[in-house]
Amino acid sequence: MKRPKRITTHVLQEMKLKGEKISMLTSYDYSMSKIVDQAGIDIILVGDSASNVMAGHETTLPITLDQMIYHASSVVRAIETCLVVVDLPFGTYQGNSKLALASAIRIMKESGAHAVKLEGGKEIKESIDRILSAGIPVMGHLGLTPQSIYKFGTYVVRAREEEEAARLQEDALVLEESGCFGIVLEKIPAHLATQVAESVKIPVIGIGAGGGVDGQVLVIHDLLGITQEFNPRFLRRYNNLYEEIKGSVQNYIRDVKSRDFPNEKEQY
């Protein structure tokens, strides 16, 4: 399919129907998002993983709504074509659908993003319904949901047991029936993710969920090899920017110290 002028939720739906895989990556700032959009990505996720890779927190819990809006508005200024989805951060939608709507409206109004993503199934249905009633597209997120890390206690693969797998399948149907335009499935067995993707009509995007889903998402710092300590089996690194950036910085330091930089041509 020729890349449309704008990727919309309808375009994503068509891609699923035609069997064309959807590409999604996180991005959190202007310069990176410009490259990612120009490279042809379908969706940029302004993930709350910004809490980890941009701010250095151990979990995604500390990032605030104001910080997510700052990241999202930087991304929106950079893009021309892709769809921008923004995570509602922890504490801005759970257990309070009025607050959920107010948080989603702030993201849409103040950043210019196109959709929001929420973690959870049945238990957040009221919040999802309320946000959708305002005409804001919602993406779900099931499986390993990092905002619940203190409930899980670990980042291991979810839904290996029948009971949790059945619950996840039910939740996917709830999200679809509510009107979500897509679902992210994180770190669950590939066969389960494939079953979910086949049982719903909306696109299912996987991270650590195998190749039987409708698309893939990764954290851009992991794909580029900027993060080093995070090495899950599902991650494919396309670069080693940690070493490349470190090498460039070392070369710069060397040139400054040796008075090689700046040379005659590099001054006025």
List contacts with ligand KIV (CB under 6 A): 26, 45, 47-49, 87, 184, 186, 207, 217, 219
How far is residue 241's CA from residue 211's CA, in Å, rounded to a whole number? Answer: 26
Residue 48 or 176 with smaller CB distance to ligand KIV: 48
Q: Which residue is nearest to ligand KIV (CB)?
A: 47
Residue 152 or 262 with smaller CB distance to ligand KIV: 152
Which residue in 12, 1, 38, 33 sits closest to 184, CA to CA?
12
Q: Which residues, other chains included, contact 14 with Cβ-Cβ below 8 Å and sequence gap of 6+?
A: 1
Which listed residue (161, 162, 170, 186) is catalytic? Answer: 186
Residues in the chain: 268
**Hey, which residues does 44 pair with through a beta bridge?**
25, 84
How far is residue 78's CA from residue 102's CA, in Å, rounded to a whole number? Answer: 25
Residue 180 or 184 with smaller CB distance to ligand KIV: 184
In the complex, the smallest distance separating the C-beta of residue 137 from ligand KIV, rounded to whole angstroms, is: 16
Residue 37 or 186 with smaller CB distance to ligand KIV: 186
Instruction: Confirm if 184 and 207 have CB atoms less than 8 A apart.
Output: yes
State how far Cα 7 lies from the chain centre: 16
State how far Cα 40 lies from the chain centre: 16
186 catalytic per annotation: yes
In the complex, the smallest distance separating the C-beta of residue 68 from ligand KIV, rounded to whole angstroms, is: 10
Which residue in 124, 128, 126 sits closest to 115, CA to CA?
128
Active-site annotation, residues: 186
